[in-house]
Amino acid sequence: MRQIPEEFVETLRQRVDIIDVVGDYVQLRRSGRSYVGLCPFHNERSPSFSVSPERQMYYCFGCGAGGTVIRFVMDIEGLTFTETVVRLAERANVQLPESLEETMPSQSETDRYQAMRDAHELAAKYYSYILMNSSAGVQALTYLENRGISKTTMVEFRLGFAPNTERRLVDFLRKRGFASELLVDSGLAVALGNQVVDRFRNRVMIPICDGRGQVVAFGGRAMQKEAKPKYLNSPETPLFHKSSVLFNLHAAKRSIRQTQTAVIFEGYMDVISAWQAGLKSGVASMGTSLTEEHVRLLKRYSDRLTVAYDGDEAGQRATHKVLSLARDAHLECRVVQFPEGMDPDDFAREFGAPAFVRQFQVQALTEVQFLIQGLRREANLESPAGRTAYIRKALTVLGERASPIERDEELQKLSQEFHLSLDALHQELKMLAKDSQRRTTHKVVAQNAVVNPNLVSADVRAGNHILQSLLLYPETYDWLLEHEVMELPLAQQTALLARLYAYRAECPEGSPVRFVETLEDTELRKLAASLAVGDAAGFDPALLTDCVRSLRLQELENRYRNKLQELVEAQLAGESEHVLACRQEVEDLQTEITRLKTPHA
């Protein structure tokens, strides 16, 4: 991804105006030195999305999305870094460098990939024609209609049928100039001895598209219950990698952005039934486990995910895995459950579209509710020990993952059901969840530090100003090193400081845009983008001195409190020598704190 010459990327940055690019997706209006509009990455009524033409960066003060023009196109279109650079170069009419072309597939490889894409496109049209316009497709058409799939939906998903013949597709594509070897490599055909035959036969065909909506693979659904396997998918090919492709994402991403929620199903038919019922934000991992790459892909479009897997035991296990992946990626999760033995497609057909959509609108469980429900199913509530174990496990979940409102609601339920006082439950929860609450508080403080400076302490605001100055004004680098500023109040701030030091050491005059593009960590990129688009008065040593003073003062006050506690403990223990040493340190700290608090000290 980073093999593109930096000189070329810098030239591209200068030729592409972020206002023009973002303006294609967002209605912007000028507000002071910046432009504002409604954020395209989450639903909002009041504009919190800010774009700075001066610094060529954007930041949303509502959801935290931020970065450069390259990051904007990557996230809004779901493209890779290289794909985005190529697209922007075409937009700006900038010639791609030879070195970039060398890192990309050769012309022969590019032609081969394109031939594979063309073959898949023709195959999709062929299968669709067989389903809709031939006697060979009547059985499959009847099968789909019996499953409640309308012809409109069939057309929208480009459904088709592969007839039960050995070489019908192969012969069709050969006549159009496609070599047998290419058809095998692309997954459309299989080599059996000296023969090349169709991979898919007597199956309903479901095209699988990449992020741009181009067909790269197929899923073949058997119509007979006894047929094995029920689903036959294309193999891994140069075009298709199961771990990085989600069925229907190309069509669902607009709805995902609008609703700010992606819905993950297990199978194709679940997605298709949901679409027909009016739920347009559904995707599927095509019978394989959801991967970290899938989750990162979904996170480009939304920070919320609804899991709608089958109601059987396997579906429950798979849901737990998705919740774990989503939690690691900081995605908010909901779970929609269906009666055991039913999948979403079954439910939609049996109870109808309104009931299906209602499951998502009204019956969705939070992650906490789903986990507690699972604990309850496994618990032995008949015995006192079983009840106690269940309550403690439920409290652990509440302490680690519940919001204050949800925690209070679930505690009320536990209190009423098991006749326990709320005080007792709160005490137990406090003991079990202490560490988790500390981590959550730290994370909230870090997020508030970039969104609303008035909600955080003076030392955190000072840390943000130091970072902003180092990001925007290169001369800050030498000043900070001279004053030995190596740590800031929040771990996230210190991590960004280290990255900025390394960047300034390598690129003393490097632009903020270039730095932000190097950040792979989402939270660090959001923090940097928020600082880049914020108001700044220039390199100001006097203000930086005040910031360093504030940091030093906070550090000393923390040490003072700790040393005072140590003094009290030494006095209670009767350790006279330790008391004298602590008393002297307390006095020294008091003197230094007073000096720093004195103006112009």
Do the first three CATH levels of 6-103 and 442-539 match, i.e. the same topology? no
On the CB side of 98, CA atoms within 13 Å amount to: 0
Q: For residue 436, what pLDDT is reported?
A: 52
- Phi, psi of 509, rounded to the nearest 5 degrees: -110, 15
Q: Does domain 6-103 have CATH number 3.30.2130.30?
A: no
Q: Residue 7: count other Cβ atoms within 10 Å of its Cβ.
A: 10
Q: For residue 183, what pLDDT is reported?
A: 95
Amino acid of residue 95: Q
- pLDDT, mean of residues 421-430: 86
Distance (Å, whole) CA 309 – CA 305? 12
Distance (Å, whole) CA 356 – CA 345? 9
pLDDT in tens, 264-311: 999 899 999 999 999 999 999 876 678 888 888 888 788 899 999 988
pLDDT in tens, 45-90: 788 899 999 889 999 988 888 899 999 998 887 777 888 888 898 8
Distance (Å, whole) CA 252 – CA 256? 6
Torsion of CA 14, 16, 22, 23, to 10 degrees: 120
Percentage of the chain modeled with pLDDT above 90: 38
Amino acid of residue 359: Q
- pLDDT, mean of residues 529-542: 86
- pLDDT, mean of residues 100-125: 76
Q: For residue 453, what pLDDT is reported?
A: 47
Q: Is the pLDDT of residue 441 over 60?
A: no
Q: Is the pLDDT of residue 590 over 60?
A: yes
Q: What is the mean pLDDT of the chain?
A: 86
Distance (Å, whole) CA 173 – CA 180? 9
- Give the torsion sign (CA, 499, 504, 506, 512): positive
Q: Is the pLDDT of residue 556 over 50?
A: yes
- Residues 23 and 36 sit within 8 Å (Cβ to Cβ): no
- Residues 571 and 579 sit within 8 Å (Cβ to Cβ): yes
Confidence of residue 186 (pLDDT cuts 50, 70, 90): very high
Torsion of CA 379, 380, 383, 389, to 10 degrees: -20
Distance (Å, whole) CA 189 – CA 276? 31
Distance (Å, whole) CA 235 – CA 512? 43
Residues with Cβ within 8 Å of 271's Cβ and at least 6 positions away in sequence, in order, are 247, 248, 265, 282, 283, 284
Confidence of residue 433 (pLDDT cuts 50, 70, 90): low
Confidence of residue 315 (pLDDT cuts 50, 70, 90): confident
Q: Is the pLDDT of residue 579 over 70?
A: yes
- Residues 347 and 279 sit within 8 Å (Cβ to Cβ): no
Q: Does domain 107-240 have CATH number 3.40.1190.20?
A: no
| Secondary structure E strands in 175-319 | 189-192, 195-198, 203-209, 215-222, 231-233, 262-265, 282-284, 304-308
| Secondary structure E strands in 261-350 | 262-265, 282-284, 304-308, 332-335
Counting DSSP H helices and E strands in the chain, the numbers are 28, 16
Q: Is the pLDDT of residue 443 over 70?
A: no
Return the SS3 of 332: strand
- pLDDT, mean of residues 359-384: 91
Q: For residue 1, what pLDDT is reported?
A: 40
Q: Does domain 442-539 have CATH number 1.10.860?
A: yes
Q: For residue 451, what pLDDT is reported?
A: 44
Q: Is the pLDDT of residue 124 over 90?
A: yes
The structural domains of the chain, with segments of one domain joined by +, span 6-103, 107-240, 244-363, 371-432, 442-539, 549-597
Confidence of residue 444 (pLDDT cuts 50, 70, 90): very low
Q: Is the pLDDT of residue 226 over 60?
A: yes
- CATH number for the region 244-363 comes to 3.40.1360.10
Which range is most confident: 215-219, 330-334, 399-403?
215-219
Residue 3 falls in which region: left (phi positive, over 0), alpha (psi -120 to 50) or beta: alpha
Q: Is the pLDDT of residue 450 over 80?
A: no
- Phi, psi of 59, rounded to the nearest 5 degrees: -155, 135
Distance (Å, whole) CA 296 – CA 128? 32
Amino acid of residue 487: E
Return the SS3 of 323: helix
Confidence of residue 2 (pLDDT cuts 50, 70, 90): very low
Q: Where are the alpha helices (DSSP H) in 40-186?
A: 69-77, 81-91, 98-103, 107-133, 138-146, 151-156, 168-174, 180-185
Which range is most confident: 62-66, 361-365, 515-519, 593-597?
361-365
Distance (Å, whole) CA 53 – CA 36? 11
pLDDT higher at 173 or 6:
173
- Phi, psi of 313, rounded to the nearest 5 degrees: -65, -40
Confidence of residue 259 (pLDDT cuts 50, 70, 90): confident
Q: Which of 530, 387, 555 is nearest to 57 (CA)?
A: 530
